[in-house]
């Protein structure tokens, strides 16, 4: 072994903690820079997504949760009542719901400055309201009728069996999955409305005691996270 070789071999492990700390420090600094150049564009520029649906069920099927299917007139919304191992579920499916209209990016640029769609790093969707009421407008206490709510967008679970009490306590925000985010970006690049298939699954509390006619009101607010450096390059 050449003179000094042993010393060099032992210096390498000794440097590892320093190099690891240096790498971690760089990662933290990079995250801080990334956060500093990321702008959130939300309610001040992007319209909330709203759904108002009047649902009529077959009252004879409700207590025993017998299979039931219907389409809400003029909306292409499908309503399904199903019994499953987990209990009874009322699914409300809305295809091609507009999440971002064709003018959304123009409005977003008014706040964040001119940017390319590729500068959009993520999109958050906040469920701000979910209300059920009778046909005459009387509000239903969700906790008395529902065990939980699941929100599925383009086959991706965004909210998973959220309890009614949690939903009523505060708005719930979730980041959209990457596949859906890319679909939205592709749509807005082409100056088209960004749409998705949205489903609310309502896990009904036993015994099932829903009114046979009810109104559903939903408000969801999209928010874009835009990296202005990426957008400018």
Question: What is the tens place of the pLDDT at every residue in 146-203?
Answer: 999 999 999 999 999 999 888 888 889 999 999 999 988 888 888 888 999 999 999 9
Q: In the CATH hierarchy, which top-level class contains the domain 38-232?
A: mainly beta
Q: The pTM is what?
A: 0.78
Average pLDDT, the chain: 82
Q: Indicate whether 14 pLDDT > 70.
A: no
Q: Across residues 135-142, what is the average pLDDT?
A: 92
In DSSP notation, the chain reads --TTHHHHHHHHHHHHHHHHHHHHHHHHHHHHHHHHTEEEE-TTTSPPEEEEEEEE--TTTTTTT--EEEEETTTTEEEEEEEETTEEEEEEEEEEEEEE-TTHHHHHHHHH-S--GGGEEEEEEEEEEEEEEETTSPBP-HHHHEEEEEEEETTEEEEEEE-HHHHHHS-EEEEPPHHHHHHHHHHHHTT--EEEEEEEEEEEPSSP---SEEEEEEEEEEEEEEEHHHHH-
């Amino acid at each position: 072994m050449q003179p000094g070789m042993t010393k060099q071999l032992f210096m390498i492990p000794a440097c590892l903690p320093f190099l690891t700390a240096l790498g971690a420090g760089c990662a933290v600094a990079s995250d801080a820079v990334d956060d500093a150049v990321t702008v959130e564009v939300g309610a001040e520029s992007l319209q909330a997504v709203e759904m108002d649906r009047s649902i009529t069920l077959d009252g004879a099927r409700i207590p025993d949760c017998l299979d039931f299917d219907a389409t809400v007139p003029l909306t292409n919304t499908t309503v399904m009542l199903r019994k499953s191992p987990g209990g009874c579920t009322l699914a409300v499916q809305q295809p091609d719901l507009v999440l971002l209209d064709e003018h959304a990016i123009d409005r977003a640029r008014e706040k964040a400055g001119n940017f390319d769609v590729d500068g959009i790093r993520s999109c958050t969707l906040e469920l701000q309201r979910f209300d059920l009421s009778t046909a005459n407008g009387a509000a239903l206490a969700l906790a008395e009728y529902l065990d939980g709510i699941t929100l599925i967008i383009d086959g991706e679970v965004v909210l998973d069996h959220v309890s009614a009490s949690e939903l009523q306590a505060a708005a719930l925000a979730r980041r959209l999955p990457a596949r859906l985010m890319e679909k939205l970006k592709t749509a807005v690049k082409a100056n088209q409305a960004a749409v998705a298939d949205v489903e609310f699954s309502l896990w009904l509390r036993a015994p099932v005691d829903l009114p046979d006619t009810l109104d559903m009101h939903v408000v969801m607010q999209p928010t874009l996270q835009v990296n202005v450096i990426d957008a400018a390059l």
